[in-house]
Amino acid sequence: MKTRRDFIKISALGTGGLAAAGGAYKWAKGSEIMNKLSGEAADKNLKLNRYPTYCEVCFWKCAGWTHTDDSGKIIKIIGNDNDPHSNGRMCPRGTGGIGMYYDEDRLKTPLIRTTKKGKQTFRKASWDEALEVIAKNFNKIKQKYGPEAVAGFFHGSPGSHLGHTLHAFGSHTEAHPSYAQCRGPREVGFAATFGSGVGSPEPTDIRDTKCLVLIGSHIGENMHNGQVQEMADAIDKGASIITVDPRFSTAASKSKFWLPIKPSTDIALLMAWIHVIINNELYDKKYVEQYAYGFKELKEHVKKMTPEWAYGITTIEPSSIRKTAYEMAAASPAAIIHPGRHATWYGDDTQRERAIAILNALLGSWGRRGGFYFKEAMSLPEYPTPEPPHPKWDWKDIHGDKYPLAALPVSNALVEATIPENNPKHQIRSWLVAGTNLPLTLPNKDQTIKAIQELEFMAVVDTMPMEVTGYADVVLPECTYLERYDYIRAAPHREPHIALRMPAAKPKYESKPAWWIAKKLGEKLGLEKYFPWENIEEVLDWQLYRAGSSLEEMKKVGVKKFERAYGAPYLKEGEDYEFYTNSGKIELYSTEMENAGFDPMPSFTQHEEPPENFYRLIYGRTPAHTFSRTANNPNLVDLKAEPLLWINPKVARIWGIENEQYIWLKNQDDKITQFPVKVRVTERIRWDSVFMPHGFGHSIKRLSRTYGKGASDAEMITNVKVDPVMGGTGMRANFVTFLTEEPKTETRS
């Protein structure tokens, strides 16, 4: 249990940098000006006290306002009422986003690796010199191996700018870990079924649903803002929630049914649900008849997959399986079997997502109110730049015959290919990394480090001195999202809309926006013609004008909504509708999977079990943090300064482990965590598993608030189950045991 006393004790240890400045009244004065401004008779000459932004603490990208006081100091971030992602309310990370700006551990200047007295170290450098070094090395590699040998690893907004530079340079060797380490399987599984992936934000019509089914998805602990808000709305309206989780999650505590499933057996439960829904004729007959393909085959396929069969696998009682199947059928079509987000668990994840998609199809929820709406995004024209050179090879050649249904590049495939013995044909000799902390993001850290050691050159762009920066030859300090413009956010939703991010303050230190870095690097590389503009405002204004707005208007409103242009968000009764699949129908039997050599319908496969005295490591989220990027945020470190390892009391008793005791973890491959982790003995977790939040256990001393705080789950993830369909890295097949004494250093990972 977290109490305020813990707050003081924990943070008194590590903080001290942030002085409280200004008083409540100072803020109130600023807000009066703000209120006047937001009124219709806003005086254009009045000093702006709030600046539109959209959040970069996570991928939900909530739009809001950055407020400054009269001295120009950033004081808070408040949601934009007109934004469908935030509905005027940021989550704790969005509210605490100012900590990213104020964090005094930020990267401050460009850094260049140098050797001093035989020891490698970073020295400060000017932007000009740092960009010159990068350009020189990229060009050298281009001459020797071709431009394709420079690979990009990106996450979030900086990738869109630096990706442009990379393409202009002649490389499409580019990957985003958000695909193969996260949501890739569900995109492929849903696309194979409905002809359309899920996308972000998920088009789940939660606010109007009558039954929300969560399978290992912990909404509320993952603060995917709009979705959490809609779940609360659904609770208000009396919707029932069914949660499948080996852990009594926050969502489980709000649920009518909690199914405490044995981990790794989800497909068996899903197939049993499908069995009950077909055999008891609970499916949406009209919908299935009109829109679905392969019902007969599916019915035959699930014939023997009874709740009794699933009981032996999942440990969920047959009566519970039947009761919950009836519950979701009663809500049909206003029922959502949520696709989840981080879906890379066991290596058969595309098939699990297929089962989820099939269940949704049987309930008729795709394209129906309270199920999934047809999303629509605003499309903005691209600012005209010359056609980039066509690369001789790209990420698809790296995949080769592997991962036939991967629609996007697989980051782990690029990492593997960087090690020359794995990929003699296509050499990757240099990485450009932005916004992703690869050693903590990718599983199998040893392989990532091995690949990095093979590189001739590596440049990293980040706001913080993350682990990945330690391996770079050149580090470039990006300013935070509160200090920069980025491209317009035009994410899909019920209504198409756009959101602007603009700076509320000048970049601190010598940090620079990614668009500037991308342009300047481009110029150093001799690619001026691809950047035919002075600054990004020109590009944004050009695009906005063509979308029916302007930069000036967007600065005032932050978010602008448009009419839908491509039909209603829901199917009309009996409407003719062609799905983008081979058959033009919702494929219960997937021809795409079959053609690619995979099972056209999902089946349960047995996964590895923990050896004796080992427990399955389940990792997840805590509401105040995103990945490993927020662990040092002064405002958020306060809420959760270190991860807690959840252990069932029975297990703790066997081991003689006390609540709040620090222990080390060792996994099945004898890897031991660098730092110990604090134990939370709790009835909220099964006895065959342990749980810990992802993103802690930082090993960089410059991250002063979070260094050494807790173990890193990523260190324990060495057994990776790669999904042959799309290359996703299944990471839940790792098992840990406990070390109560500090291990000798030489055995540590």
Partner 1 sequence: MRYAMAIDTNKCVGCADCVVACQTENNVPVGYARDWIAEIVAGTYPNVELEIRSERCNHCDNPPCVRACPTGASHVVEGGIVKVTPEECIGCGACIQSCPYDARFSHPKGYVDKCTFCDHRVKKGRDPACVAVCPTKCMYFGDLDDPSSDVSEAMKNRKYKALAPEAGTDPHIFYLM
Q: Binding to partner 1 by residue 92, rule CB under 8 A?
A: yes
Positions 260 through 319 that interact with partner 1 (CB under 8 A): 260
Q: Hunting for tokens 């010159």 — which residue is that?
A: 132
Which of 213-221, 354-362, 445-453, 540-548 is the region at the interface with partner 1 (rule: CB under 8 A)? 213-221
Query: From CA 406, how far away is CA 413, in angstroms rounded?
Result: 11
- Residue 179: closest CA among 726, 732, 733: 726
Distance spanning both ends of the chain, measured CA to CA? 31
Q: Binding to partner 1 by residue 253, rule CB under 8 A?
A: yes
What's the min distance (Å) between Cβ of 606 and partner 1? Answer: 23
533 vs 687 by CB, closer to partner 1: 687
Among 401, 534, 573, 683, binds partner 1 (CB under 8 A): 683
**x/- contact string, 653-682, with partner 1 (CB under 8 A)?**
-----------------------------x
Query: From CA 172, how far away is CA 150, in angstroms rounded?
Result: 9
5 vs 44 by CB, closer to partner 1: 5
- Tell me if residue 298 falls in helix, strand or coil: helix
Neighbours of 231 (CB within 10 A): 24
What's the min distance (Å) between Cβ of 24 and partner 1? Answer: 5
Which of 10-18, 178-186, 202-210, 558-566 is the region at the interface with partner 1 (rule: CB under 8 A)? 10-18
Which tokens in the block code for residue 165? 């530079």
Q: Binding to partner 1 by residue 204, rule CB under 8 A?
A: no
Among 85, 89, 375, 445, binds partner 1 (CB under 8 A): 89
Q: How far from 43 is each of 34, 36, 48, 53, CA to CA, in Å? A: 11, 8, 10, 21
Q: Binding to partner 1 by residue 248, rule CB under 8 A?
A: yes
Q: Binding to partner 1 by residue 326, rule CB under 8 A?
A: no
Cα angle value 219/223/226 (rounded, 5°): 85
Q: Binding to partner 1 by residue 238, rule CB under 8 A?
A: no
Among 634, 695, 697, 727, binds partner 1 (CB under 8 A): 634
Query: From CA 534, how far away is CA 539, in angstroms rounded?
Result: 9
What's the min distance (Å) between Cβ of 98 and partner 1? Answer: 6
Q: Which amino acid, 44?
A: K
Angle at which helices 411-418 and 445-454 pack, to 10 degrees? Answer: 50
Q: Hunting for tokens 């707050």 — which residue is that?
A: 7
22 vs 708 by CB, closer to partner 1: 22
Q: Binding to partner 1 by residue 220, rule CB under 8 A?
A: yes
What's the min distance (Å) between Cβ of 314 and partner 1? Answer: 13
CA–chain centroid gap for 458, Å, is 24
254 vs 429 by CB, closer to partner 1: 254
Query: From CA 441, how far away is CA 450, in angstroms rounded?
Result: 15
Query: From CA 584, how far away is CA 33, in angstroms rounded?
Result: 55
Question: What's 577's DSSP letter?
Answer: -
Question: What's 493's DSSP letter?
Answer: B
Among 57, 58, 63, 78, binds partner 1 (CB under 8 A): 78
Q: How far from 559 is each of 103, 272, 433, CA to CA, in Å? A: 28, 44, 30
What's the full length of the chain, in residues?
Answer: 749
Q: Binding to partner 1 by residue 639, rule CB under 8 A?
A: yes
Query: From CA 300, how far away is CA 271, in angstroms rounded?
Result: 12
408 vs 636 by CB, closer to partner 1: 636
What's the min distance (Å) between Cβ of 683 and partner 1? Answer: 5
How many residues make contact with partner 1 (CB under 8 A)? Answer: 67
Name the site residues for partner 1 (rule: CB under 8 A).
1-5, 7-8, 11-12, 15, 18-25, 27-28, 75-79, 89-92, 95-96, 98, 219-221, 223, 225, 228-229, 231-233, 235-236, 248, 250-254, 258, 260, 623-624, 634-636, 638-639, 648-649, 682-687
